[in-house]
Chain A
Amino acid sequence: MTEGEIRSDYQPWLISRRYAWLLAAPALFLLVFFLWPLIRVVVRGFVDPSFGLTNYRQILASPVHLKVLWNTVTTAAIVTFLCLLIAYPVAFAMARAKGARLQIMAAFVIVPLWTSVVIRSYAWMVVFQRRGVLNDALSALGVVSEPVRFLPGAFALNVGMVHIMLPFMILPLLANMRAIDGSLLRVAEVMGANPLQSFLRVFLPLSLPGISAGGLLVFMMSLGFYITPALLGGPQHMMAAVLIEQQANGLLNWGLASALSTVLLAVTIAIYLVYVRVTGGSRAASDTLGGGERS
């Protein structure tokens, strides 16, 4: 039997080392087509058209560029806040639901995730345009006498972005709320807490991990939005990705586009690191799967 014991001692290690080698293929692929391009973007921001901080000086000296960066952060923050306000009661109701009711609600949350972002932004254009659904409804109700100009505008932009990000807030919150131990709430009740107290002092604090996971995810993804701001936001509410695309594709100003990308990249990485620390990485991300629905 001693032989068997020795084998079970070293074999798992040997096996796991063989498995570790499998990482080589995806690692090499991501090195060439993910990390290398990112490194080149960062470097290019410092060397194109000339070595130094020229591009960054240009960004700092341009009120337009600074406004776009400011817009990006504030829009992402507003969208995150609105998503949280809207998603919390929905996740709460879903966490309590069972059977067919839960499945119907889940379908309503997941189907939009599978609808193309281009198509959804197009649909919001139809809703918000001058002779669109919303204006027709408003004038039929007698609220407005002539069509309101929603496009382009902050209202349409927020409605469109919240619509795309809402599932990414609902799903982490739902995963978190379903894991909350119901007996803690019963204890609070037995100890004399009224429903409002047991919500504020027990349920809400226990749902904080879900709030931070969903909030960070939504904020991080909102920073990189392109389609929705380009279609619904217009020049007044331009966001970073739109400006970067314009500078690179339209104006062939690759150095400036790279520098702007580096700023966006640095902010995204910083938030991603916090997100990984808060959620423990892939586990939370798999709760929110549905595609990298964005850009």
Chain B
Amino acid sequence: MLRLLPLVRPVIAAFVGVVLIYLVLPTFVVLPLSFSAQEYLSFPPQGFSIKWYQRLAANPTWLDATLNSLMIGIPTALLSMVLGTLGALAVVRGSLVRASLLSALLVAPMMLPHVILAIGLYPVMLELGLLRSHIAAILAHTVIGIPLVFLTVTASLRSYSGSLERAAMTLGANLWQTFWKVTLPMILPGVMVGGILAFASSFDELMLSLFMTGATTRTLPRLMWEQMSDFLTPVIAAAASLVFAFSLVMLGMAALLQKRSSTAGGGAHG
């Protein structure tokens, strides 16, 4: 590693410290705010109360939005896991011509501004009669969920040789049996991490939800967004804190799965 001049090391350390604080600052603004006793937003919050959480629980709109987010996020994750895994198997094991171009196409939805996809999908869903249904949001979110699963499963598949599958098939297993008995156990952590990522991205997605969902199917980010433009109260901070806690649980699950897969020789991604 690079040797540093004596003065450089503390300067870098101080700089890195400031940046790390900057990275977590927003989170630690929202959390104390949600326990504020005041009606308006001020920081540091005066007094302590859980009234914003009570107000949150008392308002069925928030519960409905949470249920909608789950009803959209879970099928999105499952559908993304199936389609993303199939894509990864084909690209990694299929020795396709132009495999790198195909993987670039499969990853592309992740890079595209969501607003373009949203205004393109709107008329499509309208014609299919799906607009403002959960299904419209599930299909839209799956488009951006597939790349996440594709990337994690691709990494899992590249971590071991395809000769395992070839051996199983040479011994008489068909593609279906080979998948369930050999491939899936090897890539399961990657599939699961990808599924969690797809769920998390659906759970956080705003733009597609703005165009795909309606009054009865609106998701949590959409509700927060609508509330934010109307009035800034600590109710949003309370909702945000709960969402954050939920995300941390998912992050923990993903990290655990990755750790297990890397000790088992899987190593989903960096």
Q: A residues near B, CB below 8 A?
A: 7-8, 11-13, 15-23, 25-27, 29-30, 32-34, 36-38, 40-41, 86, 89-90, 92-93, 95-96, 105, 108-112, 114-120, 122-127, 129, 131-133, 136, 163, 166-167, 171, 175, 182, 185, 189, 195-196, 198-199, 203, 217, 220-221, 223-227, 231, 240-241, 244-245, 248-249, 254, 257-258, 261, 264-265, 268, 272, 275-276, 280-282, 285-287, 289-295
Which of A114, A221, A231: most chain B Cβ within 10 A?
Answer: A114
Known: A21-B94, A217-B111, A293-B204. 7 other contacts (CB 8 A): A29-B142, A32-B124, A36-B120, A38-B117, A41-B120, A105-B20, A195-B8
Q: List 8 A-B contacts (CB under 8 A).
A: A8-B170, A22-B90, A90-B15, A96-B2, A116-B204, A123-B29, A124-B26, A244-B119
Taking a contact as CB atoms under 8 Å apart, the answer to whether A25 and B144 are in contact is: no
| Assembly CA distance A265 to B86 (angstroms) | 27
Contact flag A254-B151 (CB < 8 Å), given A16-B94, A114-B250, A291-B200:
no
Least CB separation from A109: chain B residue: B23
Q: Is B264 an interface position by the 8 A CB rule?
A: no
Taking a contact as CB atoms under 8 Å apart, the answer to whether B30 and A90 are in contact is: no
Least CB separation from B6: chain A residue: A195
Q: Is B133 an interface position by the 8 A CB rule?
A: no
A-contact 0/1 string along B80-108, CB 8 Å cutoff: 00111011011101111000101111111
| Assembly CA distance A105 to B17 (angstroms) | 9
* CB contact list, B146-199 vs A, under 8 A: 146-148, 150-152, 154-155, 165-166, 169-170, 175, 197
Least CB separation from B165: chain A residue: A15
| Assembly CA distance A244 to B122 (angstroms) | 13
Taking a contact as CB atoms under 8 Å apart, the answer to whether A175 and B270 are in contact is: yes
Q: B residues near A, CB below 8 A?
A: 1-5, 8, 12-13, 15-16, 19-20, 22-27, 29-30, 33, 41-44, 82-84, 86-87, 89-91, 93-96, 100, 102-124, 139-140, 142-144, 146-148, 150-152, 154-155, 165-166, 169-170, 175, 197, 200-201, 203-208, 210-211, 221, 224-225, 228, 232, 236-237, 240, 243-244, 247-248, 250-251, 269-270
Taking a contact as CB atoms under 8 Å apart, the answer to whether A286 and B151 are in contact is: yes
Least CB separation from B16: chain A residue: A93
Contact flag A133-B123 (CB < 8 Å), given A227-B206, A272-B111, A289-B197:
no
| Assembly CA distance A134 to B183 (angstroms) | 53
Contact flag A291-B148 (CB < 8 Å), given A23-B102, A122-B30, A198-B2:
yes
Least CB separation from A105: chain B residue: B20
Taking a contact as CB atoms under 8 Å apart, the answer to whether B119 and A257 are in contact is: yes
What is the minimal beta-carbon distance from A164 to any residue of chain B, in angstroms? 10
Taking a contact as CB atoms under 8 Å apart, the answer to whether B143 and A41 are in contact is: no
Taking a contact as CB atoms under 8 Å apart, the answer to whether B250 and A241 are in contact is: no
Contacts of B2 in A (CB 8 A): 96, 185, 195, 198-199, 203
What is the minimal beta-carbon distance from B265 to any residue of chain A, in angstroms? 17
What are the 7 tightest A-B residue pairs by CB atom distance, in nearest-first order? A224-B113, A37-B120, A123-B26, A295-B114, A23-B90, A20-B94, A19-B94
Contact flag A120-B151 (CB < 8 Å), given A22-B86, A22-B90, A272-B111:
no
Contacts of B142 in A (CB 8 A): 29, 33
Which of A34, A123, A203, A261: most chain B Cβ within 10 A?
Answer: A34
Taking a contact as CB atoms under 8 Å apart, the answer to whether B93 and A293 are in contact is: no
Contacts of A244 in B (CB 8 A): 115-116, 119
